[in-house]
Amino acid sequence: MELVTIVVADYDRAIEFFVDVLGFELLDDSASHTTSGSPKRWVVVRPPRAETGILLARADGVDQEAVIGSQTAGRVGFFFRVQDFDSAYQRMLARGVEFVSEPRDEEYGRVVVFRDIAGNRWDLLGPARSSHSIEEP
């Protein structure tokens, strides 16, 4: 998969969120046109070291405006895996990211749910915490 789309209200605010707050790379921000000929931008961001990018598409019309923030019907629909969970979580907290739960430990690792600039729910995922047991001699 090369790209997925997130419908947003504003290109610049979405770029600021994904690049400045989450630390994604801005791969493309170029002028384009809708199929009806209206001007738009082709904006693609991508998490570092990821292969799949996100097309940030400004809503065009009432149908698209209606899905901003609910593209996955309120479920977590996007998953952002990081190597250093605690650092990423603290950085995102400091930058005003809205978390909808507290971090928790699961079999698959550390996880916490947050909302993106449009209101979509994401999992921030990290490795499981090491649990070293000390054996008595």
What does the pLDDT look like over 44-102, one tens digit per residue?
Answer: 999 999 999 999 999 988 999 999 999 999 999 999 999 999 999 999 999 999 999 99
Among residues 82, 24, 88, 80, the alpha carbon closest in space to that of 56 is found at: 24
The per-residue pLDDT for range 24-44, each reduced to its tens digit, is: 999 999 999 887 788 899 999
- pLDDT of 135 higher than 50: no
Q: Do 23 and 94 form a contact (C-beta atoms < 8 A)?
A: no
pLDDT of residue 131: 57
The average confidence (pLDDT) of the chain is 92
Q: Give the list of residues 6+ apart from residue 108 with CB closer than 8 angstroms, or none.
A: 125, 128
- The span from the CA of 116 to the CA of 35, in Å, is 27
Q: Which amino acid is at 5?
A: T
> What would you report as the CA-atom Rg of the chain, rounded to the nearest whole angstrom?
17
Q: Which domains does the chain have, with CATH numbers?
A: 1-64 (3.10.180.10), 71-132 (3.10.180.10)
Burial class (CB in 10 A: 0-12, 13-18, 19+), 112: buried
Q: Name the pTM for this structure.
A: 0.87
